[in-house]
Structure 1
């Protein structure tokens, strides 16, 4: 995998690795390491396969900067309208949540060095600066994200090295709850933690010279990074705190404080990790919305910059204390957009004559003489059985969101 594809995988991973990662032990610890691991693997497999379906639809439809073009080519005007509505609702909700979280973090950091800003000023400053990076293009985001992700990995490694020596196998094996309905409810939190699919159309356009196998590996590798990060963090936290202790925490800050009692550096390290996780998630989601606006409205980058960030910023200022509530709304929307819409797109491109959808793309590949196979040859593995299982997965998630 070349650096460009590696960077794209890190964008996928960075988009998924939001600050919600830190809450995962609080959600799963009560069920023990076995059920926690099985649920995490189940959610990862379902979301990754749905992402590969979207990859197939993106390739076979000839790509596009955003889901707008893909939906128009595969689902028609009605499907395009529904997809755009869901996508805008999701991305705006996510950006609102990230601006709220990042604004609070920026305010605390600046306060520590003697610069006092209000929450409103912090949110505006963060949005303007981070938004400028997004407007600079995917290549800039890619390069910056590599650096940020490297620092995140270092922070996570320091945390794990501090926690692993004091890990208790007894704590890992204890399950304080056998309530499987409660376990099912956790799937909504975990599913949102793997919400990276919105960046796939942008990355397909960014890696036009890549073969389909490379693009598939890009998605799988990018999804494996958050999976292993989540599991390692879950085991480390569970091994150092009893299920009874976990059950008393009302928020992530209390969890971090409890871990920091015996490990002095944990609080500072995890605070840095949280900030970087918010930033990388913001960059990935904002990139998807920016490219969607470029694809839909065909305006210059300055106008698109304003269109992309004005509504999330206004929403964040209006709902400054609703971080978790906004993420909850995003989770319900994500079920439809991340599972059912890619499935509908893929069914359409598999049934439709491939050349009528992607003739120009096939001709371009042939003319350039690249080693990439033509777009009509790519298909996510599994056939009808995997498609049916993906549909059942979506229904399961929807039920979990509504319980």
Structure 2
């Protein structure tokens, strides 16, 4: 059951707000280029996930990014890695608040309770901050329930919208545009942040951890490909482009897929469940990260409450100030934060640990210097793409 829970935790962390952003950025290139670039990013992130798992298992139980970076990169590496971790996961939490709070408020409005403005963001933070503050078991139980509900809603959406998929929309391609989808896809496939917590949860069982990493990351790949088939095939490209320009989730285009009220309602449920599972995974790792930074061995009670407040208050504030920040936050998080923390950092840590510290690795071809160099070049390429996107938008 722990292995299954770990698999769902990884899948839930990945299938989140990124699900609502992927069709926005792959829609410009088309379905076939979208499949290709999605698979490439998945394979890259799975490989660097294995690298980070190996490095984490070199460390004492309870270690997180700060402790790991300090051992292999020194104080400077610890500070820079810590800054990038905070930057990345606060960007993601901002995106989750921006997309999730309106959906939660919409649910309450069905009962005649209205939340608007900063109130709906506060509601989102209080509800799911409480789940995180209670502890890992609370996160685990809620995450499993939300993951199951999300998958059920996903099947309903596929079944309801399949008849609206048009072949001509799926065959339209613009291969050059697929490169600009990579930063958001990096955000969508990020799960490395839960690896240190998962090592403790699965009692450092490498076989169980690798099982959870593979299946927990493969499931989102399948879900993402089918999801792009539905959205790109059913939603007019101009509608997708408009949602991208406005910086809002793809859920805003649901109504154009079908006029059925059930589809629209289930689409909102699906989006909400996807955001919550990702929020819980990121918040889980943020609490452990901050606890590691403050050198708190016990992360329960009032100490855990304080860590939870530090995790939720900054993204609540920024999302409330700029509610339309969703797509921008995802792109910046992926192109810069994910590229460093889940790309360059695992590669560098494995390289130093194996070739400088002479620590034993069990990764066969993946620990080869040539492979590590190739992964590094690809990461720098994605960072360059995000720089170009930011420059173009400014």
- Is the shorter-chain TM-score for this pair beyond 0.5, marking a shared fold? yes
SS in 1 for 2:221: helix
8 Å Cα contact 1:339-1:391 kept in structure 2: yes
| Aligned residue number for residue 77 of structure 1 | 75
Matches of 2:26 and 2:316 in 1, distance apart? 32
Matching residue within 10, 26, 32 for 1:34:
32
Pair 1:315 & 2:309 matched: no
8 Å Cα contact 2:14-2:220 kept in structure 1: yes
Pair 1:302 & 2:305 matched: yes
Matching residue within 356, 362, 383 for 1:378:
362
How many residues in Structure 1 have an aligned counterpart in Structure 2? 376
Q: 1:244 to 1:307 in 2, by over 3 A?
A: closer
8 Å Cα contact 1:65-1:205 kept in structure 2: no
Matching residue within 176, 186, 190 for 1:191:
186
CA deviations 1:59-109 (Å, max 9, x no partner) are 112343421222222222221111111101111222122123222222222
Matches of 2:69 and 2:275 in 1, distance apart? 29
| Aligned residue number for residue 200 of structure 2 | 205
| Aligned residue number for residue 216 of structure 1 | 210
Q: What's the CA shift for 1:254? A: 4.3
Q: 1:380 to 1:195 in 2, by over 3 A?
A: farther
8 Å Cα contact 1:63-1:70 kept in structure 2: no
SS in 2 for 1:31: coil
CA deviations 1:177-224 (Å, max 9, x no partner) are 34x1x22111112222112211111111211152x1221121111111
| Aligned residue number for residue 299 of structure 2 | none
8 Å Cα contact 1:56-1:380 kept in structure 2: no
Matches of 1:201 and 1:298 in 2, distance apart? 15
Matching residue within 362, 385, 389 for 1:400:
385
What 5-or-longer segments of structure 1 have no aligned partner?
356-375
TM-score norm. by structure 1 comes to 0.86
8 Å Cα contact 1:93-1:330 kept in structure 2: yes
Pair 1:270 & 2:274 matched: no
| Aligned residue number for residue 134 of structure 1 | 132
Q: What's the CA shift for 1:349? A: 1.4
Matches of 1:26 and 1:304 in 2, distance apart? 34
SS in 1 for 2:113: coil
Please identify, of 309-318 and 328-337, the stretch whose mean Cα deviation from structure 2 is larger: 309-318
Matches of 1:185 and 1:32 in 2, distance apart? 12
SS in 2 for 1:142: helix
CA deviations 1:219-265 (Å, max 9, x no partner) are 1111111111110011122333454665565552442111123x442
Matches within 5 A, 1:107-126: 107-126=105-124
Matches of 1:25 and 1:323 in 2, distance apart? 14
Q: 1:326 to 1:293 in 2, by over 3 A?
A: same
Matching residue within 2, 5, 29 for 2:3:
5
Matches of 2:161 and 2:225 in 1, distance apart? 14
Matches of 1:377 and 1:190 in 2, distance apart? 28
Q: What's the CA shift for 1:30? A: 4.0
Q: What's the CA shift for 1:354? A: 5.8
8 Å Cα contact 1:103-1:119 kept in structure 2: no
Matches of 2:51 and 2:65 in 1, distance apart? 13
**In terms of Rg, which structure is larger?**
1
Pair 1:225 & 2:222 matched: no
After superposition, the CA RMSD in angstroms is 2.2
Q: 1:34 to 1:100 in 2, by over 3 A?
A: closer
Matches of 2:96 and 2:90 in 1, distance apart? 10
SS in 2 for 1:265: helix
